[in-house]
Amino acid sequence: MVIISGPSGVGKGTIRKALFGIPDNNFCYSVSMTTRKPRAGEIDGVDYFFVSREEFEKRIRKNGFLEYAEFVGEYYGTPIDYIETMMEKGKEVIVEIEVEGALQVREKNPEAVFIFIVPPSRNDLIERLKNRGTDTTETIKKRIEKAEREFHLAYKYDYIVVNDEVFNAADRIYAIIRAEHAKTERSIHKYYKLLEGKE
Amino acid sequence: MVIISGPSGVGKGTIRKALFGIPDNNFCYSVSMTTRKPRAGEIDGVDYFFVSREEFEKRIRKNGFLEYAEFVGEYYGTPIDYIETMMEKGKEVIVEIEVEGALQVREKNPEAVFIFIVPPSRNDLIERLKNRGTDTTETIKKRIEKAEREFHLAYKYDYIVVNDEVFNAADRIYAIIRAEHAKTERSIHKYYKLLEGKE
């Protein structure tokens, strides 16, 4: 399981889409659930599962989230059932979550890979948030303040990837995934027969 | 510094050459020194520095090796001066060494990245050693026995890469190098200004 995280507006969604464009990948995207309204072009079940507060809170009570958080008055969460099904199928599950949520997941899933996305500069992030054009000035201000707090948590992640250019960033994440597969503690079991002289 | 290691005959040299064929790389190859005779096509200063026993032993006494080992009656070692110069220039130094030597280096250089190359199968390794056609039957037998002992040391490395196909293997190593650059402990200093709100 690969967790792509970082402040709001840093481009997590765009990077994730570029990542899924890499040929012959085995990726599977964990669709998040939210109570916020869809933005223009967002599709239910693709970008998010858009649900009511009642429905979201019912799932919280049933421990149905890998993580969830409330932000600017809306819930965001990662439904756990879909992830488990995909991992059983041998898929590489890519989870895109906010910083607060990611750190909740870290505690329970130390074997997952945690990637923090940073913008090339602070101004770049502010511009992106403004240009998104869907949020009010007040929401943008809150998001910027939140990003500043979140930057201080980057050190808790395994990797830091700068979103200088979306395809570069996606390619770096792909390299990280490949490298993680080659890590001795993750891969040595594949070579036991060879290494024990049985093959 | 990246250490490419693994049993003799596993294809370390071929993989390294493929790695250096990757465009826009910043790699620099640490040429080893040996007292063994050059094989057909091998060039002094490119494949190895071919030196006499006297010259090799003089350098040992002057602590001029990152590591060295004696195998089948010949010395193999990694001169330290060249590596230091290249690292100061900001180069990615690729060191290709035998297993025994690599583990010596590990103790003194915990920040280096250690990659163990494995053959796709035991028979594949035996075939490669036989087909090299430069060694006597006795030498081949010794190399196979040594490989068997070395397989048991794979767990001491950071990564295991299978040499199923040379370009695949080189590409996996390239992914490892890129991922290592993105590791938080290696990269966070680059983002301090941003993360501290100064940029």
* pLDDT of A98: 84
Complete edge-to-edge strand list for the sheet that includes strand A2-5: A27-30, A92-97, A2-5, A113-118, A159-162
Average pLDDT in the B109-128 region?
A: 91
The verdict on B2 touching A (C-beta cutoff 8 Å) is no
* pLDDT of A75: 94
DSSP helix/strand/coil, B84? helix
Residue A17, domain CATH: 3.40.50.300
Question: ipTM score of the complex?
Answer: 0.84
* pLDDT of A188: 92
> Is A197 in contact with B148 (Cβ distance < 8 A)?
yes
* pLDDT of B134: 67
Name the band, by pLDDT with cuts 50, 70 and 90, for residue B55.
very high
> Is B152 in contact with A195 (Cβ distance < 8 A)?
yes
> Is A191 in contact with B162 (Cβ distance < 8 A)?
yes
DSSP helix/strand/coil, A140? helix
Q: What CA dihedral angle connects B51, B54, B60 and B61, to 10 degrees?
A: -150
For residue A12, which of A158, A141, A128, A181 has the smallest C-alpha distance? A128
* pLDDT of B128: 87
Average pLDDT in the B146-164 region?
A: 93
> Is B118 in contact with A191 (Cβ distance < 8 A)?
yes
**3-state DSSP percent of chain B in helix, strand and coil, to 5:** 45, 25, 30
Q: What CA dihedral angle connects B155, B157, B158 and B164, to 10 degrees?
A: -90
Handedness of CA A35, A39, A26, B163 (dihedral sign): negative
Hey, which bits of A63-183 come out as E strands? 65-71, 74-79, 92-97, 113-118, 159-162
Please say if the pLDDT value at position B6 is more than 60: yes
Hey, which bits of chain A come out as E strands? 2-5, 27-30, 32-34, 48-50, 65-71, 74-79, 92-97, 113-118, 159-162
The verdict on B175 touching A (C-beta cutoff 8 Å) is yes
Tokens of B95: 């060191």
Strand partners, B118: B162
Task: Find the helix or strand (DSSP H, E) in which B3 lies.
Answer: strand B2-5
The verdict on B186 touching A (C-beta cutoff 8 Å) is no
* pLDDT of B92: 93
User: CB-hemisphere CA count at 13 Å for A89?
Assistant: 12
Tokens of B140: 């081949």
* Residue A109 C-alpha, separation from nearest chain B C-alpha, in angstroms: 18
Average pLDDT in the B80-106 region?
A: 89
Name the band, by pLDDT with cuts 50, 70 and 90, for residue B140.
confident
Please say if the pLDDT value at position B73 is more than 70: yes
User: Residue A39 carries which DSSP code?
Assistant: P
* pLDDT of A28: 92
Of B160, B195, B197, the CB nearest to A188: B160
The verdict on A175 touching B (C-beta cutoff 8 Å) is yes
Name the band, by pLDDT with cuts 50, 70 and 90, for residue B186.
very high
Rounded Cα gap, residues B27 and B97, in angstroms = 16
Q: For all residues of chain B together, what is the average pLDDT?
A: 90
* pLDDT of B197: 67
DSSP helix/strand/coil, A60? helix
Q: For B27-53, what is each residue's pLDDT tens digit? A: 999 998 999 999 999 999 988 999 999
Which residues of B fall within a CB distance of 8 Å from A19? Answer: none
Q: How many domains does chain B have?
A: 1
Name the band, by pLDDT with cuts 50, 70 and 90, for residue B8.
confident
Q: Which domain holds residue A137?
A: 2-195
* Residue A188 C-alpha, separation from nearest chain B C-alpha, in angstroms: 7
Q: What are phi and psi of B156, to 5 degrees?
A: -80, -5
Name the band, by pLDDT with cuts 50, 70 and 90, for residue B130.
confident
10-residue stretch averages of pLDDT, chain A, 199 residues long? 93 92 92 93 92 97 92 90 90 90 86 95 87 78 88 94 96 97 93 73
Q: What's this model's pTM, rounded to 2 decimal places?
A: 0.86
Task: Evaluate whether A56 touches A50 at the Cβ level (below 8 Å).
Answer: no
Please say if the pLDDT value at position B135 is more than 80: no
Please say if the pLDDT value at position B199 is more than 70: no
The verdict on B50 touching A (C-beta cutoff 8 Å) is no
The verdict on A60 touching B (C-beta cutoff 8 Å) is no
Please say if the pLDDT value at position B18 is more than 80: yes
